[in-house]
Chains A and B, each alone.
Chain A
Amino acid sequence: MLIQLAWRNVWRNKRRTVITLSSIFFAVLLALFMRSMQLGSYENMIRNSVEFYSGYIQIHKTGYWEDKSINKMMVESDSLKATILNAPNVEFYIPRLESFVLAASDEISKGIVVVGTAPKKENRMTKLADRVQEGSYFKSDTRGVMVAEGLANYLELGLGDTLVMIGQGYHGVNAVDQYPITAILKFPNPQANDNMVYMPIELAREFNSALGLSTALVLSVDDIDQIKNTKQHLISKLGSEYEVMDWTEMQPELVQLIQSDNAGGIIMLGILYLVIAFGIFGTIMMMSMERNREFGVLVAVGMRRRKLSLLVTLETFIIGVLGLKVSLVAGILLLLYMHYHPIPLTGNAAEAMLKMGIEPIMPFSLDPMIFISQMLAILVIVLVCLAYPLTKIMNLKAIAALKH
């Protein structure tokens, strides 16, 4: 009886209800769109930055990350391998040996980063082979290097030319050698494009006189939402000899950027919620005020205030749920489309994103939390809006209401 009565009361003033539902619909849709775009762009930024190079989790010898010293390397022992591969959520890992050397051609030289890595695993995680512009992607037995396009241009070198590298190897040993360029890589990020050289890890170990050693083990995980658990597990198993870092520690600037942008988004959402709240509150207030006498009659003929409150609560929830339902259905359809058809960026915006190493698209996230948070927000708004009519009903004096 109460549900039927509440439903009919909601539609008593169709125009008002439709206006309220429309305000909820557009505000929720806009909130979903905004939030999905925002979170989508964060996901894109994280994916591009993290999957481009750092990975979600890295293991180093304790203290390596602080000074990046080539002397702080670790042996890839069987027990270390087993501990990592048996950790939950770990798919595989890439051993890397990073060093900083002076790269030179005939007359030009430049300080660069040389990354020794396992070719197949590297490609599996960072899709490095897709960056090859000329030449062919390296193999573990390749005795040559892949040079980033910007660096090659700077050094005036091309495919097949020789790159000379001079540096300091493990424990002060001279690291000097020359290698043929087997591939030219193109990175969207200018910093990487002007400074990176890749070579097979065994060759890098030979160059640095660091056989069997790595500076970092980069972990590929199955579920990025479980990173914290995986990290904690590894910390507990590996002890103080190693440092286990997740991407938020390795890329604090990215975290900060996302946090500050997110704060702006939340303020916008707050404004939207305020619009929704006023829409719902206006309707609820009107519905209560114009029915004051009716409430008086209901209490007079024997309806308990608690039941009357339940009726008004149902009416409010019907409006909230109906508005939410319509907007969520439309929102899901819209965001599904946008997720699979992200907006491509052009012009300066695209250039700026490319410079940051981020794909120039406006992606949309389908994170369930976007929808859940909308539902919760509407629920809270409905509950807050209910305070007015419920207080009015609980303090209702039938005799006064009947005089209206």
Chain B
Amino acid sequence: MSIIKLINIDKTYNPDTIPVHALSDLNLEFKQGEFTAIVGPSGCGKTTLLNIIGGLDQPTSGKVIIDGTDLSTLDRGQLIDFRLQNIGFVFQDYSLLPVLTARENTEFIMQLQKQPKKKIKERVVTLLREVGLEDKLNVYPTKLSGGQQQRVAVARALASKPKFVLADEPTANLDSHSTSDLLDIMLKLNREENITFIFSTHDQRVIDKARRIIMLEDGKIAKPELVKQEVI
């Protein structure tokens, strides 16, 4: 069953001056447990697509339906709450709060969800163990490597038990070793906990490991989707 449905999505920037068509008549569906890479050259609309799926941006026309909820029916505040409860985000530059430790950064989202303290404590330790940072619980982001920071970001994205995780170029700032480690962790979480990951990337290493690849070009799906049967 689809958890994300994009119906006739159009996104045009500057419609009144010099219109730029970022996405055109896009129809897509994502199912629970998918590990999808959205690929394409710079400016093809990857980030715009992720932003629209994440409710950070609104399409010029069309509908985004997540788990039965039409995002266009939600107001600004409801949209934030919806993201908090349903979507995990991983950013290219990690975007951790520098004044919080790895543990506190991960706890932060659950505290926003007002989860019980005991539950938060247990889950955070589990998540940081899963991303291989059980020995860095009380370390501040500035004392972590880029790869470690991105792993904390993944733990933070998963802390709220989201329906899916959106990752915008998650490996762009990482070396090959850190990229490989991060992908292994995400694949493991995908396989073992059936977590849906959708990334934008033009990193071949990520593309190689994705199970579903959506190629965008000029805001449209360029080629027939590639769906691999097994993880390589």
Q: Are B95 and A294 in contact (CB under 8 A)?
A: yes
Complex Cα spacing A304 to B160, Å: 15
Give every chain A residue within 8 A of B57 (Cβ-Cβ): 399
Complex Cα spacing A303 to B77, Å: 9
Q: Is the interface of A mostly helix, strand, loop or mixed?
A: helix
A103 within 8 A of B: no
Give every chain B residue within 8 A of A399 (Cβ-Cβ): 51, 56-57
B45 within 8 A of A: no
Q: Are B51 and A5 in contact (CB under 8 A)?
A: no
Q: Are A301 and B89 in contact (CB under 8 A)?
A: yes
A1-B111, A398-B56 known; A304-B80 Cβ under 8 A: yes
Interface 9-residue window, one of B29-37, B97-105, B201-209, B224-232: B97-105
A12 within 8 A of B: yes
Give every chain A residue within 8 A of B108 (Cβ-Cβ): 1
A94-118 to B contact mask, C-beta < 8 Å, 1/0: 0000000000000000000000000
Q: Are A300 and B98 in contact (CB under 8 A)?
A: no
A300-B89, A301-B84 known; A12-B98 Cβ under 8 A: yes
Give every chain B residue within 8 A of A293 (Cβ-Cβ): 95
A302-B109, A399-B51 known; A294-B97 Cβ under 8 A: yes
Give every chain B residue within 8 A of A302 (Cβ-Cβ): 80-81, 83-85, 109, 112-113, 160
A124 within 8 A of B: no
Q: Are B80 and A299 in contact (CB under 8 A)?
A: yes
Q: Are B109 and A300 in contact (CB under 8 A)?
A: no
Complex Cα spacing A72 to B54, Å: 91
Most buried by B among A299, A301, A303, A399: A301
Complex Cα spacing A293 to B84, Å: 18
Query: Which residue of chain A lies nearest to B113 when distances are taken between CB atoms in the complex?
Result: A302
Complex Cα spacing A303 to B111, Å: 10
A402 within 8 A of B: yes
CB distance from A296 to the nearest CB of B (A): 9
A325 within 8 A of B: no
Give every chain B residue within 8 A of A398 (Cβ-Cβ): 56
CB distance from B16 to the nearest CB of A (A): 17
A8 is contacted by which of B51, B54, B99 (Cβ under 8 Å)? B99
Complex Cα spacing A303 to B56, Å: 13
Q: Are A301 and B83 in contact (CB under 8 A)?
A: yes
A297 within 8 A of B: yes
List CB contacts (< 8 Å) of A301-318 with chain B: 301-307
List CB contacts (< 8 Å) of A1-45 with chain B: 1, 5, 8-9, 12
Q: Which residues of A contact B (CB under 8 A)?
A: 1, 5, 8-9, 12, 293-294, 297, 299-307, 398-399, 402
Counting from the closest, the 9 A-B pairs by CB-CB distance are A302-B84, A8-B99, A297-B95, A1-B111, A399-B57, A399-B56, A302-B83, A398-B56, A304-B80
Seed contacts A301-B89, A302-B81, A302-B84; 10 additional CB < 8 Å A-B pairs = A5-B97, A297-B95, A299-B80, A301-B84, A301-B109, A303-B80, A303-B112, A304-B81, A306-B77, A307-B112
